[in-house]
């Protein structure tokens, strides 16, 4: 049994997962670093007495259960789960194959669900734990060329928001992390897949969008090492936030989304407020002109 804080991190062989694992290890924690290829994870993180490398394809519930079992056998507990592994399918919705949409949702939404479902019994027994899921600013606002990715990340946000009140009475905290553009490996050829252009109406914009996303790889302003340190700070808090919006660009996206929602609420407030079932004593207002109907 370990007296250390035990971190369980998915997608720890590349990108952000490596930085989170390194930061957790440097802080003196025990780390379970998982990935589809354990050798890749070991090469990225090196050797440490506080490190356990476990094979985990997050799309496999059986892999998730086996990885959690190996963790409990080694450390006896899981204190922090970081759902980090994800991929990126880019393209216009009509040009994205159904199989691409399915793979996006399977990896970026169902994958974290598989791992969390395997981890929660351990945390419930402990009556403690912290589930951190890396979403995206695309979980706050959708964007052109991002229908698949945003759909999966909106799903992560809705799932985590709903999970929070279910598990908090059991001593388990949850945090959604919505990063903006960070210099991870999400936009590399290994993690990004594009729809096959097939519709003339999208051709010109398709070329521009593809060039933009390829040009952003390695140019993102966010520093993954700083985000990893921020996650350690949040995990150490007695009452961690349910949501952490990471990066100035993500904050700008969130603030713009708030402003847009408020404008839409205000524009249709009267119509929206007139939709209750009318009782006989109610005065019904005609939404077209505001005239009293009864």
User: Can you tell me the distance from the alpha carbon of 224 to that of 222, in angstroms, rounded to the nearest whole number?
Assistant: 6
Q: What is the mean pLDDT of residues 104-113?
A: 96
Q: What is the mean pLDDT of residues 235-263?
A: 95
**Within 13 Å of residue 234, how many CA atoms lie on the same side as its CB?**
26
Q: Where does the pLDDT of residue 184 fall: very low under 50, low under 70, confident under 90, or very high at 90 and above? A: low
Residue pLDDT, tens place only, 2-26: 578 999 999 999 888 999 999 999 9
Residues 154, 241, 10, 257: what is their CA dihedral angle, to the nearest 10 degrees? 30
pLDDT > 60? residue 196:
yes
Query: Which residues belong to the active site?
Result: 149
pLDDT > 90? residue 291:
no
pLDDT > 80? residue 289:
no
Contact 243, 140 (CB under 8 A): no
Residue pLDDT, tens place only, 46-87: 999 999 999 999 999 999 999 999 999 999 999 999 999 988
Most confident of 21-35, 185-199, 201-215: 21-35
pLDDT > 90? residue 220:
no
CATH numbers and ranges of domains, the chain: 6-246 (3.40.50.720)
The position carrying tokens 């759902």 is 83
Q: Where does the pLDDT of residue 294 fall: very low under 50, low under 70, confident under 90, or very high at 90 and above? A: low
User: Can you tell me the distance from the alpha carbon of 194 to that of 92, in angstroms, rounded to the nearest whole number?
Assistant: 9
Strand partners, 176: 133, 243
Nearest partner of 109 among 65, 53, 142, 153, judged by Cα: 153
Q: What percent of the chain has pLDDT over 70?
A: 89
Q: What is the pTM of this model?
A: 0.89
The position carrying tokens 């995990």 is 235
User: pLDDT higher for 209 or 245?
Assistant: 245
């Amino acid at each position: 049994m370990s007296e250390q804080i035990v971190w369980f991190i998915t997608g720890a062989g590349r990108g952000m997962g490596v930085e989170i694992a390194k930061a957790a290890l440097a802080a003196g924690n025990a780390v379970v670093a998982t990935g589809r290829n354990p050798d890749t994870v070991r090469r990225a993180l090196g050797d440490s007495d506080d490190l356990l490398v476990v094979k985990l394809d997050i799309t496999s519930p059986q892999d998730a259960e086996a990885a959690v079992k190996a963790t409990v056998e080694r450390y006896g507990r899981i204190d922090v789960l970081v759902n980090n592994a994800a991929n990126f399918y880019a393209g216009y919705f009509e040009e994205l194959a159904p199989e691409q949409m399915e793979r996006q949702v399977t990896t970026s939404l169902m994958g974290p669900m598989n791992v969390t479902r395997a981890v929660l019994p351990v945390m419930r027994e402990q009556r403690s734990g912290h589930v951190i899921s890396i979403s995206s600013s695309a979980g706050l606002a959708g964007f052109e060329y991002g229908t698949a990715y945003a759909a999966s990340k909106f799903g992560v946000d809705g799932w985590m928001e709903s999970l929070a009140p279910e598990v908090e009475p059991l001593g388990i905290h949850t945090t959604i992390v919505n990063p903006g553009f960070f210099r991870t490996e999400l936009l590399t050829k290994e993690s990004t897949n594009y729809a096959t252009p097939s519709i003339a109406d999208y051709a010109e914009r398709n070329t521009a969008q593809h060039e933009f996303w390829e040009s952003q790889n390695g140019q993102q302003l966010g520093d993954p090492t700083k985000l990893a340190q921020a996650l350690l700070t949040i995990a150490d808090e007695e009452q961690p936030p349910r949501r952490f919006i990471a990066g100035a660009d993500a904050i700008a996206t969130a603030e713009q989304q708030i402003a847009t929602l408020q404008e839409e609420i205000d524009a249709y407030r009267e119509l929206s407020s007139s939709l209750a079932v009318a009782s006989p004593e109610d005065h019904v207002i005609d939404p077209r002109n505001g005239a009293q109907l009864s």
